[in-house]
Chains A and B, each alone.
Chain A
Amino acid sequence: MSNEKKGVRLEHISKIYQDPKTRKEFYAVKDTNLEIEPGTFVTLMGPSGCGKTTTLRMIAGFESPDEGEIYLGEEPINALPPNKRDTAMVFQSYALLPHYNVFDNVAYGLKLRKLSKVEIRAKVENILKLVQLEGMEERMTNQLSGGQQQRVALARALVMEPGVLLFDEPLSNLDAKLRVEMRTEIRRIQQKVGITAIYVTHDQSEAMSLSDKIIIMSNGKVEQIGTPREIYYHPKSRFVADFIGEANFLKAKVIGKEGSKAVIRIDGREMAVNNYADAKQGDEASLVLRPEAVTLAESGQLPCKVTLSTFMGSYQYYQAEAGGTTVQITDYNPVNKRIFEAEQKAYLQFDPDGVYIL
Chain B
Amino acid sequence: MAKGQGAQLERKKLLADPIMVTTIVVLIAFLTLFILYPLAILLVDSFVSKEEGVTLSIFQRVMGLSNFRRAITNTLKVGFLVGIASALIGLLFAYVEVYVRLRTRALSGLFKVVSMLPVVSPPFVLSLSMIMLFGKAGIITRYLLKIYDNSVYGFWGITIVQTLTFFPVCYMMLKGLLKNIDPSLEEAARDMGASRMKVFLTVTLPLLLPGIGNAFLVTFIESIADFANPMIIGGSYDTLATTIYLQITGAYDKEGAAAMAVILLCITLAMFVVQKYYLEAKSTATLTGKASRARMLITDRSVTVPLSILCGALALFVVLMYVCVPFGALFKTWGYDFHLTFKWFKMVFTRYKGLKAFKDSFVLSLIASPITALLSMIISYLVVKRKFKAKGFIEAVSMLAMAVPGTVLGIGYIRGFSGGVFHTGFLQGLYGTGAILVIVFIVRSLPTGTRSGISALRQIDKSIEESAYDMGADSFKVFMTVTLPLIKDSFLSGLVTSFVRSITAISAIILLVTPSYLLITVQINEFAEKGSYGIACAFATILILITYSAVLIMNLIIRYFGTSRVSSD
Contact = CB atoms under 8 A, between A and B. Distances in A.
Contact of B466 (A16, A82, A98): A82
Contacts of A109: 471-473
Contacts of A92: 463
A44 interface: no
A108 B468 contact: yes
Contacts of A81: 13, 16-17, 469, 474
B13 A16 contact: no
- For A81, A87, A112, A173, which residue has the most chain B Cβ atoms within 10 angstroms? A81
A269 interface: no
Contact of B468 (A62, A87, A97): A97
A295 to B, nearest CB: 46
B1 A98 contact: no
A169 B450 CA distance: 34
Contacts of A65: 5-6, 9
B470 A83 contact: yes
Interface residues of B, number: 35
B568 interface: yes
A60 interface: yes
Interface in A97-145: 97-99, 108-109, 112-113, 142
A98 B467 CA distance: 12
A89 B470 contact: yes
A15 B6 contact: yes
Contact of B568 (A78, A80, A95): A95
Nearest to A173: B569
User: Looking at chain B's contact residues, is the secondary structure mostly helix, strand, loop, or mixed?
Assistant: helix
Contact of B467 (A25, A67, A89): A89
Contacts of A160: 471-472
Interface string A37-64: 0000000000000000000000011111
A88 interface: yes
A91 B471 contact: no
A82 B6 contact: no
Given A79-B12, A92-B463, A99-B486, A64 B470 contact: no
A37 B461 CA distance: 33
Contacts of A64: 5-7, 9-10, 13
B302 interface: no
A5 interface: no
Nearest to B482: A97
B2 interface: yes
B145 interface: no
B485 interface: yes
A79 B485 CA distance: 30
Contact of A112 (B4, B473, B486, B566): B473
B463 A112 contact: no
Nearest to B12: A79
Interface in B189-234: none
B566 A79 contact: no
A234 B467 CA distance: 38
A327 B466 CA distance: 47
B2 A91 contact: no
Interface in B1-40: 1-7, 9-10, 12-13, 16-17
B567 interface: yes
Given A16-B3, A27-B1, A66-B4, A82 B9 contact: no
Interface in B422-478: 461, 463-464, 466-474, 477
Contacts of B12: 79
Nearest to B464: A95
A89 B486 CA distance: 21
Interface string A65-93: 11100000000001111111001110111
B563 interface: yes
Nearest to B2: A66
Given A16-B1, A93-B568, A97-B482, A82 B463 contact: no
Contacts of B464: 95-98
A156 B471 contact: yes
A91 B466 contact: yes
B284 to A, nearest CB: 18
Interface string A15-42: 1100000000101000000000000000
B13 A99 contact: no
A164 to B, nearest CB: 12
Contact of A95 (B7, B467, B481, B485): B467
Contact of B463 (A63, A67, A95, A113): A95
Given A64-B5, A66-B5, A83 B568 contact: no
Contacts of B3: 16, 25, 66
Interface string A210-251: 000000000000000000000000000000000000000000
Contact of A87 (B461, B470, B482, B485): B470
A99 B485 contact: yes
B13 A88 contact: no
B406 to A, nearest CB: 37
A16 B470 contact: no
B461 A93 contact: yes
Nearest to B466: A62
Interface string B382-410: 00000000000000000000000000000
B466 A97 contact: no
Given A66-B2, A79-B13, A98 B566 contact: yes
B107 to A, nearest CB: 36
B446 to A, nearest CB: 26
A97 B480 CA distance: 13
A93 B466 CA distance: 12
Contact of B567 (A83, A98, A156): A98
The interface centre, meaning the residue of B13, B16, B481, B482 with most chain A CB atoms within 10 A of its CB, is B13
Contacts of A98: 464, 486, 563, 566-568
Contacts of B10: 64
A83 B472 contact: yes
Contacts of B466: 62, 82, 89, 91, 95
Interface of B: 1-7, 9-10, 12-13, 16-17, 461, 463-464, 466-474, 477, 481-482, 485-486, 563, 566-569
23 contacts: A16-B1, A16-B2, A61-B470, A62-B466, A62-B469, A63-B6, A64-B9, A64-B13, A66-B3, A67-B2, A79-B13, A83-B474, A89-B467, A93-B568, A95-B463, A95-B467, A96-B467, A97-B467, A108-B471, A108-B473, A113-B472, A160-B471, A173-B569
Given A83-B470, A108-B481, A112-B473, 14 more contacts: A16-B3, A62-B466, A64-B9, A64-B10, A64-B13, A66-B2, A79-B16, A81-B16, A82-B469, A95-B464, A98-B568, A108-B473, A109-B472, A156-B467
Closest 6 pairs (CB-CB, A-B): A109-B471, A64-B9, A98-B566, A95-B463, A66-B6, A95-B467
